């Protein structure tokens, strides 16, 4: 069945997404930073919202949910079971590893804790897309607020194991800064150099750099490349455990 993804800029640098089933004319919403652009996109296309998949509890991903529910009373918000007390507006609580349904399409719930504990991603094989919130981002990953580097690295590896042609629909437009940082620790990577130029051009034109392809992340995202010999050499960590290299990359990015 045909499916399409609509990327919706919200707030200053957030993204929400609509996943649309062309047959039943309904849309799943993924994260709700601000109800206004989401409701406008739904009204413009005359789509009904159902369900609303939430990746984690931070306000810049959930604060628009109630208004969408008020305007689309058939909608139901979904969050991870672990987040149920922090997202009380969600009626449906999903377990990591559970397979949900959106209009006959599988929606696989993946535990990607690290940025927060209970953070989930939603993988939709029929759309060849994964909605990652603040876990894996374009050329980056979220700050490790509630988890540990070990937990975050394991979560990123789970996403990295998806098919390379998967579209990574992440929650923020941080790619320009992420690219500039990546070049400080992986400066001789031709794929990264080319992507950084493309990101700069897109930023100058005000063009979103999200979603991105997982294959591009695998080739250029330093947080997926903590085992890369060149990055290790640039950090002076040739023989360090992978998680220590990852933690050092995250520490440097936090201070970039």
**Tens-digit pLDDT profile for residues 168-200:** 999 999 999 999 999 999 999 999 999 999 999
Residue that the structure tokens 């957030």 belong to: 14
**Which residue among 115, 149, 169 closes a domain?**
169
DSSP 8-state code for residue 33:
S
Beta bridge partners of 42: none
Q: What is the mean pLDDT of residues 247-251?
A: 98
**Which residue among 169, 199, 233 closes a domain?**
169
The reply to whether 187 and 242 lie within a common domain is yes
Full residue range of the structural domain in which residue 206 is found:
175-254
Condensed to tens digits (0 to 9), the pLDDT of residues 79-103 reads 999 999 999 999 999 999 999 999 9
Based on the structure, what is the number of domains in the chain? 2
The reply to whether 119 and 187 lie within a common domain is no
d(CA 45, CA 22): 11
CATH number of the domain within which 51 lies: 3.60.15.10
Task: Indicate the pairing of strand 120-124 with strand 129-133.
Answer: antiparallel
The reply to whether 11 and 136 lie within a common domain is yes
Check residue 138 and give its pLDDT: 98
CB crowding 29-67: b at 16 or more within 10 Å, else e? bbbbbbbebbbebbeeeebebbbbbbbbbbebbbbbbee
d(CA 85, CA 107): 22
**What mean pLDDT value characterizes the chain?**
96
Q: What is the mean pLDDT of residues 145-164?
A: 98
| Tokens of residue 205, six digits | 């034109």
The reply to whether 116 and 94 lie within a common domain is yes
The reply to whether 183 and 223 lie within a common domain is yes
3-state class of 194 per DSSP?
Answer: helix
The reply to whether 144 and 225 lie within a common domain is no
Check residue 2 and give its pLDDT: 67
Check residue 21 and give its pLDDT: 85
pTM of the model: 0.97
């Amino acid at each position: 069945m045909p499916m399409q993804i609509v990327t919706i800029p919200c707030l200053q640098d957030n993204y929400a997404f609509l996943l649309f089933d062309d047959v039943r004319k309904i849309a799943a919403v993924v994260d709700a930073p601000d109800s206004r652009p989401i409701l406008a996109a739904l009204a413009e296309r005359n789509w009904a919202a159902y369900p609303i998949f939430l990746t984690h509890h931070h306000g810049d991903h959930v604060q628009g949910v109630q208004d969408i529910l008020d305007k689309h009373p058939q909608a139901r918000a979904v969050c991870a079971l672990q987040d149920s007390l922090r997202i009380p507006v969600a009626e449906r609580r999903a377990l990591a590893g559970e397979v949900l349904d959106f209009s006959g399409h599988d929606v696989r719930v993946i535990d990607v804790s690290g940025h927060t504990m209970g953070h989930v991603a939603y993988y939709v094989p029929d759309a060849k897309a994964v909605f990652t919130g603040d876990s894996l981002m374009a050329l980056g990953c979220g700050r490790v607020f509630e988890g540990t580097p070990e937990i975050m690295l394991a979560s990123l590896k789970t996403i990295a194991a998806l098919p390379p042609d998967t579209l990574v629909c992440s929650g923020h437009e941080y790619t320009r800064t992420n690219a500039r940082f990546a070049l400080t620790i992986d400066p001789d990577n031709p794929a990264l150099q080319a992507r950084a130029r493309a990101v700069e051009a897109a930023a100058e034109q005000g063009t979103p750099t999200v979603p991105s392809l997982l294959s591009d992340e695998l080739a250029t995202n330093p947080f997926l490349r903590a085992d890369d010999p060149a990055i290790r050499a640039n950090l002076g960590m040739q023989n360090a455990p992978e998680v220590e290299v990852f933690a050092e990359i995250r520490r440097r990015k936090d201070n970039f």
